[in-house]
Structure 1
Amino acid sequence: MRIISGSHKSKRITAPKNLPVRPTTDMAKEGLFNILNNRYYFDEIRVLDLFSGTGNIAYEFASRGSEQIFCVDKNHNCIRFIQQTSQKLNFDAISAIQADVFEFLDQHNREHDIIFADPPYELTDLSKVIESIFDKKLLSKEGVLILEHSKMKDFSKHSSFKNIRRYGNVNFSFFEWTNTIDA
């Protein structure tokens, strides 16, 4: 995997083979960040990266200047890798938290501008992630929740669903507040 843009553009990062992860492809990540680049000033946003795995998405945000990035994953080796890589790249904005994502969401109360979730594709109830975020009002009123998932999942009927982007086998569903009264 590599960082696409920013202060560490083209930097390659190699994750240990024993991590139980499926990093977002460079092609999909580049497409995603092209969308976000047209909407946000990265140095002004707060990011929450759920099911962080290798930290691939967080490194991209950090390279582009985001100053507050929380990475959450329950796997100790993933968190250790994120911490080591963040330190090596001087990404002080990244805070890695070892926790079950659902327990974290139950206890968390900070608002974020971008929430990215890349749960294991075999996780059956992805709707629970979406509902937890909106029920707890963890997304800012102008924010976006991006859920990476397999093509077998369809969230188009969800009340906060905005659109979907497909990059090969990678699907990103985008969710926003339906109106500012909700937020």
Structure 2
Amino acid sequence: MAKNSMRKHQRSSSSQNNKGSGSIRIISGLWRGRKLPVYDAEGLRPTTDRVKETLFNWIANDIPNARCLDLFAGSGGLGFEAASRQAEEVTLIELNSQAFQQLQQNAQTVKATNINLLNQNSLNFLKQEGQAYDIVFIDPPFRQGLLADTIELLENNHWLNDQALIYIETEKELEMPALPESWQLHREKVAGQVRFQLFIREQ
């Protein structure tokens, strides 16, 4: 993959309010208040603390003992937050090797026992036959056309439990691709140039 494409792929879920700060902050749970360093690559688009706090207020009761999947993990802001709040298992998928190494170091720093890290392309991962997850975070690079394929692979390859929660973060102006009929919009907000939505898979 071209170097520029790798930079775009690695960008994803970070809770920094300012990319230059070089860290994410865990809001709640076992590692509450901890700041973890972020690999500050060109093209990193952070998820703000405000958005992350809103999301986890929505799903707080569903996190304990859940199996979570964090696609396009970037800084790991969403995945680490879920793990801190005692998810049973959190799998983070990150393509960029340097961002992945930072995720490994951060997992060691907090002595995480419920985090799995995979250094690979999220779409390639989803092309396998899946083991169903309870909560999935989808925060792909903006304007790269990755969302439609991600949604299709998640649904068709059995990555989702019945009643799974699916979080999607996109650029505000994006026209959403077709969604499976079973995905029902539960919550939605816009913050700045970002739209974030939570779906429930109703079977």
TM-score normalised by length of structure 2: 0.80
Partner of 1:129: 150
Verify the 8 A CA contact 2:71 2:138 in the aligned structure 1: yes
**Alpha-carbon distance in 1 for matches of 2:52, 2:198:** 14
Query: Which string of whole-angstrom CA distances, capped at 9 and with x for unpartnered residues, describes residues 35-57 of structure 1?
Result: 001x41x2210000000001111
Extract unaligned runs of 5+ from structure 1: none
Partner of 1:164: 188
Q: Please list, as runs of the form range in 1=range in 2, the aligned pairs for 1:1-183 lying within 5 A after superposition.
A: 1-18=24-41, 20-37=43-60, 39-40=61-62, 42-155=63-176, 158=179, 159=181, 160-162=183-185, 163-177=187-201, 179-180=202-203
Percent of aligned pairs with the same amino acid: 29
* Number of residue-to-residue matches in the alignment: 177
**Alpha-carbon distance in 2 for matches of 1:71, 1:157:** 25
Verify the 8 A CA contact 1:49 1:115 in the aligned structure 2: yes
Partner of 2:11: none
Partner amino acid, structure 2, of 1:172: F
Q: What RMSD over aligned residues (CA atoms) do the two structures have, in Å? A: 1.8
Extract unaligned runs of 5+ from structure 2: 1-23
**Alpha-carbon distance in 2 for matches of 1:125, 1:58:** 20
**Alpha-carbon distance in 2 for matches of 1:54, 1:93:** 17
Please identify runs of 4+ aligned residues in structure 1 that moved more than 6 A.
none
Verify the 8 A CA contact 2:140 2:146 in the aligned structure 1: no
Verify the 8 A CA contact 1:55 1:82 in the aligned structure 2: yes
**Alpha-carbon distance in 2 for matches of 1:16, 1:78:** 5
SS for the counterpart of 1:43 is coil
Verify the 8 A CA contact 1:48 1:114 in the aligned structure 2: yes
Bigger drift between 17-26 and 104-113 goes to 17-26
